[in-house]
């Protein structure tokens, strides 16, 4: 399909390991967002990419979290030295920039479990 694609869909890892999550946005969408959703809660903004501009990293909870995006394509979110509190669903969304009548389109998320 033409939606936002995330992988893996589920990831279980041991505390202290590094993980890498991937997001393929909708083709043509210049804006890409990462959010975190803890169980039973709303979404927490992590980071935003817009084209080749410097990303907005204001939502990253610690320096263990980082993300990259090449141009307007794939993004990866990396969590180093994972902790149990990192367990959550990580959602990626994309949208057309500067077209405010369009919603953000979300992927199905990566469910991360830290043992």
Q: Which residues bind another protein (CB under 8 A)?
A: 31, 33, 35, 41-45, 48, 50, 56, 58-59, 91, 93, 95, 97, 100-109
Q: Give CA separation, 4 vs 1, 10, 31, in Å.
A: 9, 16, 12
Residue 33, phi-psi category: left (phi > 0), alpha (psi -120 to 50), beta (remainder)? beta
In a 13 Å sphere around the CA of 72, the CA atoms on its Cβ side amount to 12
Residue closer to another protein by CB (options 83, 102) is 102
Could you tell me the CA-to-CA distances from 115 to 12, 21, 81, 87, 92 in Å, in that order? 7, 17, 12, 9, 23
| Residue with Cβ nearer another protein (42 or 71) | 42
Smallest separation (angstroms) from another protein to the CB of 109: 6
Give whichever of 14 and 58 is closer to another protein, judged by the CB atom: 58
Task: Name the residue nearer to another protein (CB basis): 10 or 83.
Answer: 10
| Least spacing, CB of residue 42 vs another protein, in Å | 4
Q: How far is the CB of 85 from another protein (least distance, A)?
A: 18
């Amino acid at each position: 399909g033409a939606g936002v694609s995330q992988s893996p869909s589920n990831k279980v890892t041991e505390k202290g390991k590094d993980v890498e999550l991937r997001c393929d946005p909708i083709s043509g969408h210049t804006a890409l967002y990462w959010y975190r959703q803890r169980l039973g809660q709303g979404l927490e903004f992590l980071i935003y990419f817009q084209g080749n501009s410097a990303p907005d990293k204001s939502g990253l909870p610690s320096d263990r979290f980082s993300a990259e995006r090449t141009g307007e394509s794939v993004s990866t979110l990396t969590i180093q030295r994972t902790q149990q509190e990192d367990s959550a669903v990580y959602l990626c969304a994309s949208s057309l920039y500067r077209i405010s009548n369009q919603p953000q389109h979300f992927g199905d998320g990566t469910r991360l479990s830290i043992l």
